[in-house]
Structure 1
Amino acid sequence: MKKNRFAGRCVRFFLGVVVFSTAVFSCKENSEDLIKPKTITDVLIENEQFSILWEIVTYAKMGDALRTDNLTFFAPDNDAFAKANISSSSKYTDQATAEAFIKNHIIAKEIIDYDNLKAGVKKSKNNKDLSITKIDSVVAINKSDIVKKNVNADNGIIHVIDSLVVN
Structure 2
Amino acid sequence: MKKLGTVMMLMMLVVASSFTSKTNAVHETKIEADIVDLAISQDFLSTLVAAVKAGDLVDVLKGDGPFTVFAPTNDAFAKLPAGTVENLLKPENKAQLVKILTYHVVPGKVMSKDLSNGQMAKTVQGSSVKVTIMDGKVMIDKANVTEADIEADNGVVHVIDSVIMPSM
TM range (shorter): 0.7 to 0.9
The residue type equivalent to 1:79 in the other structure is D
Q: Secondary structure at the match of 2:33?
A: coil
- In 2, Cα distance between the equivalents of 1:160 and 1:128? 20
- Residue identity over aligned pairs, in percent, reads 27
> How far apart, in 2, do the equivalents of 1:122 and 1:87 lie?
30
Q: What is the CA-CA distance between 1:65 and the residue it aligns to?
A: 1.0
The structural deviation recorded for 1:117 is: 1.3
Instruction: Give 1:77's aligned residue.
Output: 73
Aligned 8 A contact 1:83 1:163 in 2: yes
Which amino acid is 2:153 matched to? D
Larger relative helix fraction: 1
The residue aligned with 2:86 is: 90
| Partner of residue 47 from structure 2, selected from 46, 52, 57 | 52
Q: Which residue of 2 aligns with 1:67?
A: 62
Equivalent residue, structure 2, for 1:151: 150
Relative to structure 1, is the Cα distance of residues 86 and 101 closer, same or farther in structure 2, using a 3 angstrom cutoff?
farther
Name the count of aligned residue pairs.
134
Checking the alignment, whether the CA contact within 8 Å between 1:52 and 1:88 is kept in structure 2 is: no
The alpha carbon displacement at 1:114 in A equals: 1.3
User: Which 5+ residue runs of structure 1 have no aligned equivalent?
Assistant: 1-31
- Cα distance in 1 between the residues matched to 2:84 and 2:149: 26
Separation of aligned partners in 2, 1:130 and 1:151 = 19
1:104 matched to 2:103? The reply is yes
Q: Given residue 40 of structure 1, which amino acid in structure 2 is its aligned partner?
A: I
Bigger radius of gyration among the two = 1
User: Which residue does 2:138 correspond to in 1?
Assistant: 139
Measured after TM superposition, the shift of residue 113 of structure 1 is 1.0
| Offset from partner CA, 1:65-122 (integer Å, 9 cap, x none) | 11121100000001111122457842214111111111000001x1111122122111
- Cα deviations by residue, 1:28-54 (Å, 9 ceiling, x for unpaired): xxxx89x69300000111111011111
1:123-153 C-alpha deviation (Å, 9 max, x unpaired):
1001111011111211111111100111110
Q: 1:129 to 1:66 in 2, by over 3 A?
A: same
Q: In the aligned structure 2, how far is the partner of 1:158 from the partner of 1:49?
A: 14
Question: What is the distance in 2 between the residues matched to 1:137 and 1:86?
Answer: 33
Question: Normalising by structure 2, what TM-score?
Answer: 0.73
* Alpha-carbon distance between aligned partners in 2 of 1:90 and 1:51, rounded to the nearest angstrom: 14
The Cα RMSD (Å) is 2.0
